[in-house]
Amino acid sequence: MIAIVLGTRPEIIKMSPVVRECEKRGLDYFVLHTGQHYSYEMDRIFFEELELPRPKYNLDVGSGTHAEQTGKIMIGVEKILMQEKPKIVLVQGDTNTVLAGALAAAKLHIKAGHVEAGLRSYDKRMPEEINRVLTDHISDFLFAPTEVAKQNLIRESISENSIFVTGNTIVDAVYQNLEIAKKKVSVLKELNLKPKEYFLVTTHRQENVDVRERIKGIIRGLELIHNEFAIPVIFPIHPRTQKRIEEFGFNLNGVTLINPLGFLEFLQLEANAKLVLTDSGGVQEETCVLGVPCVTLRDNTERPETLEVGSNVLAGTKPERILGGVKLMLNKRNNWKNPFGDGKAGERIINAIMSEVGT
Ligand code: UD1
Ligand code: UDP
């Protein structure tokens, strides 16, 4: 039996190809949702749109400090793993859910498989970097999306036998859903937007939005862009960011704030954007896959493949540098090759664990 542990928006999206593969093969598996994300538009909307089976369990841990959240998840996951006794636990990415899920499994001597292993920003200010490094070192199966990620793991003395280069499941998710998005949703019309005549923005990194100067810099950068290009700047706002902007009492000028969107709507907005500004991990990858230029509002990235192929540039959070990054990317040709695989990552991940689960 396979246990799939997930808890946040990007995990639901990036695990969807693995869930679909389990369904397709009729495997014995279950989904354990930790409840780290719980608002409708951060959680249930993705199960509905992607037509995923409802999780068998939901721990409803909700929000809290890092230790509270991680601890609660570990306690809840452990109980269920002791009952269900799966052969392997799969986790995806770098959230508190991922570390807590893998750690609970490892302590029970249940095999853990880390989807999207080997990413490194080498920046310990990021809670995600701590989660990634620890999860990689306690997992038995490391599903590296690229050769770069594999080499990061090898440099940390992780056994090559446990590493599988699979591609990133985000490519599977984009390929599986882009056509559906085109047919099913008409978000551009609803927002009164024309293809390639708007910018799209997301930001939610703790080290950006919890720090007054950094979030202020981003907001000012967006204003500069709006003044320079005179086209809409669309910003589906993450609940963390919404909360901080209210607390800091900032006004946003020239920016259209909207609620977080479903994956199909967001994918359609991304595919048609002139350029995307983000501090999201998944969005850096998706824009690269979709051939849309990206400006990353960070000082580093654990997705260096996007910089190498030229789909992305690091701009930090200073207004002038953000504007400079946009101008630079708009002067380039969008003819890079997607480095994140062929959309068959889900299939490869399940192939790799078949001997373990024995079904
Ligand atoms: C988490 C992950 C981050 C990931 C992001 C994806 C960690 C340490 N962080 O960050 O790596 O990139 O998810 O979006 O695991 N909130 C709601 N509704 C929700 C969820 C959150 O209102 O459904 C609000 C709460 O005020 C909460 C805040 O957002 O305190 C932050 O939520 P949390 O899950 O702690 O971190 P994220 O910033 O979402
Ligand atoms: N996303 C979405 N709706 C939105 C914003 C993002 O569906 O309004 C999707 C996006 O397509 C990507 C994922 O959410 O697949 C990225 O999640 P997020 O930025 O929250 O987390 P990260 O990737 O940084 O961990």
Q: Which ligand is nearest to the CA of 10?
A: 2
Report whether residue 271 contacts ligand 2, using a CB cutoff of 6 Å: no
What distance in angstroms lies between residue 37's CA and the mean position of ligand 1's atoms? Answer: 6
The verdict on whether 238 is a catalytic residue reads: no
What distance in angstroms lies between residue 280's CA and the mean position of ligand 2's atoms? Answer: 7
Closest alpha carbon to 284 in 123, 187, 174: 174
Q: Which residue has the tokens 């192939």?
A: 351
pLDDT tens string 74-106: 999 999 999 999 999 999 999 999 999 999 999
**Which of the four pLDDT bands, split at 50, 70 and 90, describes residue 359?**
low
Question: Is ipTM > 0.85 here?
Answer: yes
Cα separation of 180 and 9, whole Å? Answer: 19
Please give the residue that has the higher pLDDT: either 315 or 356.
315
pLDDT tens string 287-310: 999 999 999 999 999 999 999 999
- Domains along the sequence of the chain with CATH: 2-167+344-357 (3.40.50.2000), 177-330 (3.40.50.2000)
Q: Which ligand is nearest to the CA of 129?
A: 1
Q: Which member of 114, 204, 226, 238 is catalytic? A: 204
What distance in angstroms lies between residue 285's CA and the mean position of ligand 2's atoms? Answer: 10
Looking from the CA of residue 13, the nearest atom of ligand 2 is 15
For residue 228, give Cα distances in angstroms to 31, 215, 220, 270. Answer: 47, 20, 12, 21
* Residue 340, amino acid: F
Helix (H) or strand (E) holding 7: none
**H helical segments located in the chain:** 9-25, 44-49, 66-84, 96-107, 127-138, 147-155, 169-184, 187-190, 206-209, 212-229, 239-248, 263-272, 281-290, 304-309, 319-330, 345-357
Q: Are strands 57-58 and 199-202 parallel, antiparallel or unpaired?
A: unpaired
What distance in angstroms lies between residue 229's CA and the mean position of ligand 1's atoms? Answer: 32
Report whether residue 286 contacts ligand 2, using a CB cutoff of 6 Å: yes
